[in-house]
Each structure stands twice: as C-alpha cells, then as structure tokens.
Amino acid sequence: MKRSYHTCLAMLFVTVLTVSTTPAAILAHYDFRDGNLLDDESGNGHTLTPTVSEGITLNPDGFSAHIGVNNSNYLKAESLSGSPGSPYTISLWFKTTLTNPGVNASVVSSPFGSSVWQISWANGGMRVNGDAVLPTAGVPLDSNTWYHVALVTDGINSHFYLTRDGDTINLRDSATMVFGITDLQIGVNRIRNTSWEGDYAGVAVYDEALSAGQLSVALENGPGSIYVVPEPASIPLWGVGFWLLLAIRRRWILR
C-alpha cells in the first residue's frame, strides 16, 4: 500500500505540471507610469515616436498618456510588426470625454501591410474595421469611464473585446479575419487623419491569442496596474491536487 500511495503522489505531481501553461510572450508594453511616454517596458526595443510632442502628455493620474484632439497627434511604433496569419493580442485601456468623436476616430490601428485595420468609431459605437470586413459596430461608450479594449487573433479568427472597468470580460464579436501588424499606431486611424482624444494606459502586444481568462486578469487589475504577462493557469490546480492527496492519504491510513 505504501508504494501505491507514493505512486499516486507522483501521478498528482506530474498531472499538475502537465496542465501548467507557459506565460504569454510580450512583444511590447507601454505603461507610461514612469513618466516616459515613449519607452517599451518589455525590453524589446519597440520605442514609440510622437508625431507632435506637445499634443501628447502624461495624464495627472500618473499612469496614462493623454492624446490631444489635434489630428496630427498620435504615437507609433515603426519597428513593431507581425505578419498576417500569426497569432497575437493587442490589449489597452482607454478613457475619453468624446463619446461621439466623428467617423473613423481610432484608438489603435495598423496603417500598412497586407491587412490594414483600426479599432475606431462608427455607427454609434466602437468597432473593428478591416480591409474587407466590418465585424463589430454599435458599441457605445460612457464619458470619462475606463474601458479595456482587446483585439485577439489566432491567425484565422479574430475576437474583439470591449469591457467597462469593473465588469466581467465582454466578447463583443468574432469574425474570420486575418490581421497583421505594421507600424502600430496609438490614438489615430489607419490613414492618419483622425485621432481620438483621450487617455491611454497599459498598452500591450503579445505574440499569441490570449484567452478570455487571461484578459480577465488585466481587467481585474484595472487601468493603473502594471500587469504585463498572464501567469500560468496551473496555480489553482495545486489546491485541488492537495485535497486529492489528503483524501488518498486518509484512505491509505485507514486501510
């Protein structure tokens, strides 16, 4: 019976290790909380470039960048690219007083490459607008309220999340779309003529399609968090394994 007990212990240990997941790899991260509006905290060197420096400032809350209403104001990462068909996730926080900014004002966009796209305003709400397909539209915003925005693609299908701070993660729409990234832009549309004035925080790009559960961690931490890479999903299973181990041990002793 002693051998059986230790065998069970080993099986539990192996099981927990097997279901553990590798943390998502980060391509770029801009949190602005250090007062630097341009540096990439991931260490990958995807430095942002401001088009008009005086129109982009650190917000008084200390963790977000404010992009002004001038259509020339936006941030871009010219070194940040990802080919169409590759999985990736774009995650950011956004707050604005302009809840009806005019057609095509965008929070983030990709202007070049084989798939041009933007997350923008149209038809009374926020949407994802690609070259040939319009998967999401008509999601309104409340003024001066933080929203978590996420575009997730596995290389074949894409998912758009827009969730108010404090709410449960909200999948707005999905579509068969292939998005690439070339010269990622923050605060302007894909043709660079309509910016969206507001506060931007926690902008992050990952090289894989994050799950709703992983995105929920960012949502739960809030716009001022330093959340970057989701932790492996194995942690809760240690508790399950522990109680199973106790049950097996108790049964072994009683015998």
Q: What's at 153, amino acid-wise?
A: T
pTM of the full structure: 0.81
| Domain with 56 in it | 26-230
Distances in Å between the alpha carbon of 108 and those of 67, 187, 205, 238? 12, 6, 12, 39
Q: Evaluate whether residue 61 is within a structural domain.
A: yes
Q: How many CB atoms lie within 10 A of CB 206?
A: 25
- If you average pLDDT over residues 156-168, what whole number do you get? 93
Mean pLDDT computed over every residue of the chain: 79
pLDDT for 132: 57
Q: Evaluate whether residue 92 is within a structural domain.
A: yes
How far apart CA 145 and CA 160 sit, in angstroms, is 19
Q: Evaluate whether residue 172 is within a structural domain.
A: yes
CA nearest to 23, candidates 217, 222, 237: 217
Specify burial of residue 98 (Cβ count, 10 A radius: 0-12, 13-18, 19+): middle
pLDDT at 254 over 70: no
Of residues 147 and 79, more confidence is placed in 147
pLDDT band at 167 (very low <50, low <70, confident <90, very high): very high
pLDDT at 9 over 80: no
**Could you report the per-residue pLDDT of 196-247, keeping only the tens digit for each?**
999 999 999 998 999 999 999 999 999 999 888 876 544 444 343 433 333 4
- If you average pLDDT over residues 192-199, what whole number do you get? 91
Q: Evaluate whether residue 90 is within a structural domain.
A: yes
Distances in Å between the alpha carbon of 151 and those of 76, 104, 217? 17, 17, 16
- If you average pLDDT over residues 136-164, what whole number do you get? 90
Number of domains in the chain: 1
**Could you report the per-residue pLDDT of 17-71, keeping only the tens digit for each?**
334 456 678 999 999 999 999 999 999 999 998 876 567 889 999 999 999 876 6
pLDDT for 114: 66
Calculate Rg over the CA atoms of the chain.
Answer: 22
Q: For residue 216, what is the domain's CATH number?
A: 2.60.120.200
Angle between helices 235-254 and 2-19 (to 10 degrees): 170
Instruction: Taking the CA atoms of 244, 245, 248 and 249 in sequence, report the sign of the dihedral they define.
Output: negative
Q: Evaluate whether residue 4 is within a structural domain.
A: no
Of residues 255 and 61, more confidence is placed in 61
Q: Evaluate whether residue 244 is within a structural domain.
A: no
CA 184 from chain centre, in angstroms, equals: 14
